[in-house]
């Protein structure tokens, strides 16, 4: 199998150059599938768990993971193959490799991964920037899952068992997670549309641009390291990988801090109109402190916490909404959440 290091995408392998298929035993394919599926699923669940204010339905997270693994990967492969077919005959191979790293691969892959976020942002469960990080990361991990499967099998066919093991280690721990980080960045900016008074178009474009820039930076760094001898690629990845995950973690904590402020502000109004009592409001606010501090001491039910949090986000969305599309449904949802909150408070089981 022919492999070009500088082409850092799904199209890095030339399938027409594969050696005899007898070199590809079933157990290698099975272990490659497990090695691609399990770590990316675990990473997705970790990001989902970090959203402590209002966790997204696992069904939607799983669908996002599946989208990244199949449609997004398929679109990227098809468009990349078309671009390569059109440009390779007219562009020098070295120049094409450079363009692939700095332009084609990042734009194609990040656009394919971000497409569902543009539509999903209208879903009733997509309430804020943190939700965008969760769904975007799930799509990125799904994309990395498929990319890893291609690389794992290809590495065994190209270099045997040792090359296969080394590729599994590098890509599982390092490379595939970048897809989650870049698409999570796009999701963060797309999610901010819910609480922004500016037009949606510029924010959508900004989210995609930031994702592409992050992807370009990663591909460029890997390409430069591959041609340098002062430091091995593994040493660089050992430094970059914690930084990538730390960046995603910091981004999520920043978004959660913004959400906690929104919850305090919006629910304070509910206390003034008598929907919530001041003591109950204080318990809800305490339950939303970082890392659940105060939640252990709050004697409120999960239902009350979920409904009050959702009410706060929907109220803020209503305040900031610029478009009239779906505004009636949003107001109806807010009234329903407020009625549900009143019923729970009247039950007297939340203290």
In sequence order, the 6+-apart residues with CB closer than 8 A to the CB of 179 are 68, 109, 113, 140, 141, 143, 144, 147
d(CA 37, CA 232): 28
Give the count of beta carbons closer than 10 Å to the beta carbon of residue 72: 28
Give the pLDDT confidence score for residue 6 in this predicted structure. 45
286 CB burial (10 A radius; 0-12, 13-18, 19+): middle
Give the pLDDT confidence score for residue 302 in this predicted structure. 81
The model carries a pTM of: 0.85
Check if the beta carbon of residue 275 is closer than 8 Å to that of residue 345.
yes
Closest Cα to residue 8, out of 221, 183, 246?
Answer: 221
Check if the beta carbon of residue 137 is closer than 8 Å to that of residue 61.
no
Q: Is 281 helix (H, G, I), strand (E, B) or coil?
A: helix
* Tens of each residue's pLDDT in the chain, 351 residues: 343 444 555 545 444 444 444 455 788 888 899 989 999 999 999 999 988 888 899 999 999 999 999 999 999 999 988 988 888 777 777 777 777 877 889 999 999 999 999 888 888 889 889 999 999 999 999 999 999 999 898 888 888 888 888 888 777 776 678 899 999 999 999 998 877 766 778 888 999 999 999 998 888 877 777 665 555 666 666 777 777 778 888 888 889 888 889 999 999 999 888 888 888 888 888 887 765 555 555 567 788 888 999 999 999 888 887 666 667 888 899 999 999 988 888 775 544
Lookup: tokens for 131 = 């939700």
> Helical H runs in the chain?
26-50, 58-67, 73-87, 93-99, 105-120, 129-170, 176-191, 200-226, 233-272, 278-287, 302-320, 327-347
Give the count of beta carbons closer than 10 Å to the beta carbon of residue 110: 29
Task: Count the alpha carbons within 13 Å of 90 in the hemisphere toward its beta carbon.
Answer: 5
């Amino acid at each position: 199998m022919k492999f070009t290091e500088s082409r850092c995408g799904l199209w890095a392998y030339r399938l027409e150059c594969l050696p005899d298929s007898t070199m590809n035993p079933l157990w290698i394919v099975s272990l490659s599938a497990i090695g691609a599926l399990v770590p990316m699923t675990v990473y997705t669940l970790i990001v989902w768990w970090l959203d402590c204010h209002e966790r997204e339905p696992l069904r939607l997270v799983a669908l996002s993971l599946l989208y990244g693994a199949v449609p997004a990967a398929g679109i990227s492969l098809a468009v990349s193959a078309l671009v390569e077919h059109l440009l390779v005959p007219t562009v020098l191979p070295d120049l094409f490799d450079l363009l692939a790293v700095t332009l084609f691969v990042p734009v194609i892959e990040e656009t394919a991964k971000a497409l569902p976020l543009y539509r999903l942002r209208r879903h009733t469960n997509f309430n804020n920037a943190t939700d965008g990080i969760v769904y975007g990361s799930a799509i990125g991990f799904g994309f990395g899952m498929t990319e890893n499967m291609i690389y794992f099998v290809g590495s065994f066919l190209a270099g045997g068992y040792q090359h296969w093991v080394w590729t599994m280690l590098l890509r599982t721990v390092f490379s595939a997670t970048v897809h989650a980080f870049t698409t999570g960045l796009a999701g963060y900016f797309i999610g901010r549309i819910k609480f922004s008074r500016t037009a949606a178009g510029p924010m959508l474009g900004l989210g995609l641009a930031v994702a592409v820039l992050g992807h370009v930076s990663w591909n460029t760094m890997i390409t430069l390291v591959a041609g340098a001898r002062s430091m091995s690629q593994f040493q660089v990845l050992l430094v970059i990988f914690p930084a990538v995950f730390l960046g995603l973690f910091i981004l999520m904590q920043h978004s959660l801090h913004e959400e906690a402020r929104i919850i305090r502000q919006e629910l304070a109004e509910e206390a003034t109109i008598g929907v919530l009592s001041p003591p109950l409001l204080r318990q809800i606010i305490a339950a939303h402190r970082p890392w659940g501090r105060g939640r252990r001491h709050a004697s409120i039910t999960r239902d009350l916490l979920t409904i009050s949090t959702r009410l706060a986000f929907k109220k803020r969305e209503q305040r900031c909404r610029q478009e009239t599309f779906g505004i009636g449904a949003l107001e109806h949802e807010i009234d329903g959440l407020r009625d549900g909150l009143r019923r729970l408070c009247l039950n007297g089981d939340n203290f």
